[in-house]
Structure 1
Amino acid sequence: MPDGLPEDHPRAGERTMEIMLSLRKTGGLEFRRLMESTNRLNDAGDRRPVTCVIMDGVLSFALPVLMEMGIPYIYFRTVGACSFWANFCIQEIIDAGEVPLRGKDEDKYTYWKKKEMDLMVTSVPGMEGFLRRRDLPWFCRVSDVNDAGFQAIKTETRKSTQARALILNTFEDLEGPILDEIRKHIPNLYSVGPLHTHLRARLAEKTSDITRASGSFWEEDKSCLTWLDSQPAKSVIYVSFGSVTILTRSELLEFWYGLVNSGQRFLWVMRPDSIIGNDEESKIPVELEEGTKARGYMVGWAPQDDVLAHPAVCAFFTHCGWNSTLESVAGGMPMLCWPYFADQTINSRFVSEVWKLGLDIKDTCDRVIIEKMVRDMMVERRDEFLQRANDMANLAKKAISEGGSSYCNLDRLIEFLRGTI
């Protein structure tokens, strides 16, 4: 379904919010056309009718069409419970004066340093005592609470109460206290994650021939697995900032120097479109080239599941997108977090302060800090983080095993769907 933006419109980085705002305007008409086309196939006997819709919880343009057609709907949110709950409480955050976080015309390097960013948030139940203003979801980093994107997230999240149910890709042992807060407003809540391992576990019950599907946006360069095969066990930090993060050339060099100066081996995913202010004539300092040849390997995209499962990998330097966070949790992989936007800012706080599975270096991009944190992850606190990550991975495995919380919740969801349809 088209997003309503021109083909050449930028869609990476912070511009992704423009996709959502465009879909809010154009998506309803496109969805109506889709449903009318489906109905014609139903009438011709070529397809069974749509009797229930599971939909993304921030794209409510479909609701008027579904209500008109009398089709029940269920929300599935692709963020964690912590981010969903903070977004749900945005009005309370506004009322408490804890946003906006950004001054007018203030660049990110300026507001990153503001002391007010480290004040504790008091308006999100269940997060008192550890959530700072800088940890609030990126949408709160506005200079005006009437900002269109900020208001859209607030409005769309509150509409979750109208759905027949809410599905979250998480599990009770990871986010139980926050799930309990959400259930006070949305009782019919199903935590069924980690979905990527849950799906494989369910399929394994039916067949021994399971092909691992890739959901990658980019072509995977599997040569990195061969490189990993030649590295010692637990010696490599895997670096990937996801499919939409954009770095400036200055930020790129700070990360690069930090990694090289740490003296640790690293595998770095660097998308072709991930750097702005860079060109073919921009020379890479000799010391970075030499350090990378000695201890590093770079690819445009990697088979992340396989990388995280590789015995040579010891930690994940990540943007803390929810999928990457859950993949790390399920894989027993400690995380060094540098969140970029969206839900990543709150995910990284939970990783470091609640689950204690790694370190959070949000709102800084300094080679000295990066060097120190990489060494902390790979040397100084390595055993501590590996043990914590292994313990959480066991809880994730328990959740998707028969009798586990996510296993039972998926069974309950299936029964609910049968009753709804």
Structure 2
Amino acid sequence: MEQPQPHILLLPFPALGHIKPLLSLAELLCYAGLHVTFLNTDHNHRCLTHLQHLSAHFPTLHFDSISDGLPTDHTRNIQVMRDLIDLVVLLKSVTKLRFRDLLAHLSTKSERPVTCVIADGIMSFAIDIAKELGVRVMTFWALSPCSLWSFFCLPKLIEEGQIPVGGEADNDMDQMVRGVPGMEGLLRRRDLPHIYRIQLMDGPFFQFFFEEMKAMIRTSALILNTYDDLEDPALSHIAPLFSRIYTIGPLTTLLKSRIEHDISRSLSSSNNLWEADHSCMTWLDSQSLRSVVYVSFGSTGLMTRGQMMEFWHGLVNSGKPFLWVVRRDDIEGAEAEHPIPEELQEGTEERGFLVDWAPQEEVLAHQAVGGFLTHNGWNSTLEGIVAGVPMVCWPTVADQQINSRWVSEVWRIGLDMKDTCDRSTIEMMIRAVMEERREDIMRSMDPIVKLAHDCVNQGGSSYHNLDKLIEDIKEV
């Protein structure tokens, strides 16, 4: 009997930071000749219709969508706890049922049945359904492996009473954390992922995350967006939990190294999930070498108006040119509607450039950019590493807290400003990465950058691991 051709269904968690790396994986699989269905929620499918152009480059890539159960006008901001709880509750009920119907159709009734599901690490309902329907399933973890290892240590941290942290009575956030092997003497309470700051441990979101971690190890393989030399200690602790692990990052860099040059040039300008304002590239062309601070807090970051004013004052007071991504929904609530102080307007007109969204990888690769003020989402952290740009870290949610600790204390390629937001500190840290400490940081950065590029080229670990993953999928 003829074996079915591989058909992989990819299911990201419905957030842009999760969609982007899985989309790069989808393109890599299609470039290898495999058929891929990329499954978004209806809401994200409508928002990302411009991605349909990828089918012209990858004829075996198809997009589909299912409901997330939320009304059309729901804000869906996953940094707002109420919105996040609404989403995860309905993913477990409404989306789960729709996913079962779709997978049953695609794996039994379609001309090309699904032979493998690759599900986001926090979409475990897909694991249960794939196993029920006899379809192989793998897990893709979109965040950092060092955060994943801390999540796997969650039961022990609960047992020892080390979490939650950060309550009103907690005045010792710099106390070292025990119970995460390999991170002794490094991980402070304030460096734990933000889920550990949730006081209601019996609440729906905490329980959701707890169950997701237990479900992941039921899959046949784990796929990680990292490279071996960057996070070897964490990887060595995670490895015994899975029969196979594929480290294939940085994924966007691997994608560019594998595909043909003409396609690469097209994708580099059009593969942004949101429409970017390319006028900032012309502005960067007019700036001096390594003089500009690039500022972006990601696709979902929120701040108060007071925090925004502190950042703005710090940037202007630093005296450095700055390119700042300021989304329309960056500021919480109605307090965004206030006049901007005259000194900030003048400083911005003289040295600043503000955009709704920027082509981040192009920006970071530009010779004028010398520093990156970032939230330390995993995609942004990897992109900063690949470009070799020193970072000032202001993490807020998810894995960002632990990522920023690794940037400052493990890799020593930036400075960590977590839980602080005052103009004098911002100014001081910008000056440090651009001037006083730049030489020391670049001594640490250069070998890490080289390893990031070496691993995605032929003979490199991520290049080799992608080949192994593709062969593994074909064997099904």
Fold shared, TM-score > 0.5 on shorter chain: yes
**Distance (whole Å) between structure 2 residues aligned to residue 231 and residue 397 of structure 1:** 27
Please name the residue that 1:84 is paired with. 148
Matching of residue 390 in structure 1 with residue 446 in structure 2: yes
Equivalent residues of 2:119, 2:127 under 8 A apart: no
Shift in Å at residue 393 of structure 1? 0.9
DSSP 3-state at the match of 1:400: coil
Superposed, 1:33-52 pairs within 5 Å as 33-39=101-107, 41-42=109-110, 47-52=111-116
**Distance (whole Å) between structure 2 residues aligned to residue 145 and residue 39 of structure 1:** 38
Shift in Å at residue 217 of structure 1? 4.2
DSSP 3-state at the match of 1:74: strand
Shift in Å at residue 144 of structure 1? 2.7
DSSP 3-state at the match of 2:455: helix
Please name the residue that 2:80 is paired with. 14
Which residue identity does 1:137 align to in structure 2? Answer: P
Which residue identity does 2:130 align to in structure 1? Answer: L
Q: TM-score, normalised by structure 1?
A: 0.93
**Distance (whole Å) between structure 2 residues aligned to residue 281 and residue 392 of structure 1:** 43
Pick from 332, 337, 354 the counterpart of residue 298 of structure 1.
354
Which residue identity does 1:157 align to in structure 2? Answer: M
Equivalent residues of 2:305, 2:336 under 8 A apart: no
Shift in Å at residue 384 of structure 1? 2.0
Equivalent residues of 1:217, 1:243 under 8 A apart: no
Please name the residue that 2:157 is paired with. 93
**Distance (whole Å) between structure 2 residues aligned to residue 176 and residue 333 of structure 1:** 22
Equivalent residues of 1:77, 1:167 under 8 A apart: yes
Pick from 360, 372, 390 the counterpart of residue 334 of structure 1.
390
**Distance (whole Å) between structure 2 residues aligned to residue 192 and residue 40 of structure 1:** 30
Shift in Å at residue 326 of structure 1? 0.6
Which residue identity does 1:212 align to in structure 2? Answer: L
Pick from 444, 457, 465 the counterpart of residue 409 of structure 1.
465
Cα deviation 1:358-414 (Å, max 9, x = unaligned): 001001111111111111111111222233222211010111111211111111112
Matching of residue 368 in structure 1 with residue 435 in structure 2: no
Shift in Å at residue 25 of structure 1? 2.3
Instruction: Please report the RMSD computed on the Cα atoms of aligned residues, expressed in angstroms.
Output: 1.7
DSSP 3-state at the match of 1:118: coil
Please name the residue that 1:25 is paired with. 93
Q: TM-score, normalised by structure 2?
A: 0.82
Shift in Å at residue 186 of structure 1? 1.7
Cα deviation 1:281-318 (Å, max 9, x = unaligned): 51100000011111111001001011001000001100
Shift in Å at residue 8 of structure 1? 2.1
**Distance (whole Å) between structure 1 residues aligned to residue 284 and residue 347 of structure 2:** 17
Equivalent residues of 1:169, 1:195 under 8 A apart: yes
**Distance (whole Å) between structure 2 residues aligned to residue 344 and residue 21 of structure 1:** 23
Q: How many residues align?
A: 406
DSSP 3-state at the match of 1:26: helix
Q: For the structure 1 residues 146 and 79, does the alpha-carbon distance in structure 2 shift closer, same or farther, using more than 3 Å as the test? A: same
Q: For the structure 1 residues 168 and 39, does the alpha-carbon distance in structure 2 shift closer, same or farther, using more than 3 Å as the test? A: closer
Q: For the structure 1 residues 280 and 334, does the alpha-carbon distance in structure 2 shift closer, same or farther, using more than 3 Å as the test? A: closer
Shift in Å at residue 68 of structure 1? 1.9
Please name the residue that 1:5 is paired with. 70
**Distance (whole Å) between structure 2 residues aligned to residue 96 and residue 186 of structure 1:** 25
Superposed, 1:312-327 pairs within 5 Å as 312-327=368-383
Shift in Å at residue 216 of structure 1? 3.4
**Distance (whole Å) between structure 2 residues aligned to residue 281 and residue 144 of structure 1:** 33
DSSP 3-state at the match of 1:259: helix
Cα deviation 1:344-371 (Å, max 9, x = unaligned): 1111111111111100100111111111
Cα deviation 1:238-268 (Å, max 9, x = unaligned): 0000000111111110110011111111100
Please name the residue that 1:64 is paired with. 128
Segments of 5+ residues of structure 1 without an aligned counterpart are none
Which residue identity does 2:210 align to in structure 1? Answer: K
Shift in Å at residue 218 of structure 1? 3.0
State which drifts further: 29-38 or 332-341: 29-38
**Distance (whole Å) between structure 1 residues aligned to residue 218 and residue 107 of structure 2:** 24
State which drifts further: 290-299 or 6-15: 6-15
Shift in Å at residue 278 of structure 1? 4.7
DSSP 3-state at the match of 2:267: coil
**Distance (whole Å) between structure 2 residues aligned to residue 21 and residue 88 of structure 1:** 22
Q: For the structure 1 residues 117 and 71, does the alpha-carbon distance in structure 2 shift closer, same or farther, using more than 3 Å as the test? A: same
Superposed, 1:183-202 pairs within 5 Å as 183-202=239-258
Shift in Å at residue 24 of structure 1? 1.7
State which drifts further: 334-343 or 272-281: 272-281
**Distance (whole Å) between structure 2 residues aligned to residue 73 and residue 356 of structure 1:** 37
Pick from 225, 231, 245 the counterpart of residue 175 of structure 1.
231
Matching of residue 75 in structure 1 with residue 139 in structure 2: yes
Cα deviation 1:105-146 (Å, max 9, x = unaligned): x5xxxx7xx432111111111111110111111111111322
Shift in Å at residue 280 of structure 1? 7.5
Which residue identity does 2:94 align to in structure 1? Answer: T
DSSP 3-state at the match of 2:186: coil
DSSP 3-state at the match of 1:115: coil
DSSP 3-state at the match of 1:128: coil
**% same residue:** 48
Segments of 5+ residues of structure 2 without an aligned counterpart are 1-65
Equivalent residues of 1:121, 1:132 under 8 A apart: yes
DSSP 3-state at the match of 1:219: coil
Matching of residue 163 in structure 1 with residue 230 in structure 2: no
**Distance (whole Å) between structure 1 residues aligned to residue 354 and residue 263 of structure 2:** 32
Please name the residue that 2:281 is paired with. 225
State which drifts further: 378-387 or 164-173: 378-387
Cα deviation 1:16-75 (Å, max 9, x = unaligned): 533233212222111012123425752xxxx31111111111111123321221111000
Cα deviation 1:174-207 (Å, max 9, x = unaligned): 0011100001222411111000010111114xx5
Superposed, 1:210-221 pairs within 5 Å as 210=264, 211-213=266-268, 214-221=270-277
Which residue identity does 1:73 align to in structure 2? Answer: V
Please name the residue that 1:268 is paired with. 324
